[in-house]
Structure 1
Amino acid sequence: MSPGSRRRQWKVSLRGAIERHEHLDADAISCDNRCQLGQWLHGAGGRRNGTQPKFMALPEEHRKFHEAAGEVARRINAGQMDDATRMLDSGSAFARSSGDVAVALNRVRRGF
């Protein structure tokens, strides 16, 4: 599964949790080093490419994505389903951070 597909899957999973009023591990979701991309960024990818200008934005954008996803999960856990739903809409921090990760990934791919 591509990183873009995984980010879309996060949105689908969060929407499903809203619909089912499912409790989520918001702290785990907020961690940017547990997913496949995060493990690469914090491991081999970061060691190999961390000083490359086109790479440098990617870890921060990825961190922001997980932070936004974690905030959605916290709203779901608090029973604030309308807020959580809005937090997944276009223009939200979640949507912006997802797009920013995609842009940063594309820059990295073109740069190497």
Structure 2
Amino acid sequence: MNWMEIIGAHVMWKQRLTAFLAGSSAEPLDPDAIRLDDRCALGQWIYGAGKTMSELPRYEEVRGLHAQFHQYAADVVRLHLNGNTSEAEKLLQGDYSRLSEKLKHRLIGLSSQVKAASNGISPF
């Protein structure tokens, strides 16, 4: 699993959402699809192969933060599509950005724990 690629993909969401709100993106964004946290590579790992790592200290926190990340991203898109772009921008620059940064740091921590556990080193 390429953790830096997964972190990068989630960091890029802010740029995608910013372009969407600015009207400079032709990318069709569906809030119902975005909300699903099991479709991206990280979500597939969390709900698939990563379950074997569910005892790691950061696993459950990352799972919850990741689900909230997808919900916030979906909310940004939904607000914009409903004509409430100012609220969408407020969410994007506020709660979404804070949560995204926290998720990024927790993913770095989880990746270290997973690597240690995979090498037979106790992450505790």
Name the count of aligned residue pairs.
Answer: 109
* 1:1-23 Cα deviation digits (max 9, x unpaired): 62232122211111111122876
Residue 65 of structure 2: aligned partner: 61
Q: 1:56: how far off?
A: 2.1
Work out the percentage of aligned pairs sharing the same amino acid.
29
Structure label with greater radius of gyration = 2
Question: Contact 2:31/2:78 (CA < 8 Å) preserved in 1?
Answer: yes
Query: What TM-score, normalized by structure 1, do the two folds share?
Result: 0.85
Please point out which of 104, 108, 112 is paired with 2:106: 104
Distance 2:40 2:58 in 1: 21
Instruction: Give the distance between the partners of 1:88 and 1:68, measured in 2 at CA.
Output: 8
Between 1:20-29 and 1:69-78, the stretch displaced more is 20-29
Query: Aligned runs of 1:41-52 on 2, under 5 Å?
Result: 41-46=46-51, 48-52=52-56
State the Cα distance separating 1:60 from its structure 2 match.
Answer: 0.6
Matched residues in 2 for 1:103 and 1:94: separation?
A: 14
| Conservation of the 8 A alpha-carbon contact between 2:7 and 2:107 | no
List alignment gaps of at least 5 residues for structure 2. 117-124
1:37 is aligned to 42
- Aligned pairs for 1:2-21 within 5 A: 2-20=5-23
1:109 positional shift: 2.0
The unaligned stretches of length 5 or more in structure 1 are: none
Partner of 2:87: 83
Query: What is the alpha-carbon distance in structure 1 between the residues aligned to residue 11 and residue 110 of structure 2?
Result: 20
After TM superposition, which residue ranges in structure 1, 4 or more long, deviate above 4 angstroms? none
CA distance in 2 between counterparts of 1:8 and 1:54 reads: 19
Q: Distance in 2 between matches of 1:106 and 1:41?
A: 15
Within the candidate set 93, 96, 113, 1:94 is matched to: 96
Cα deviation, residue 53, structure 1:
2.0
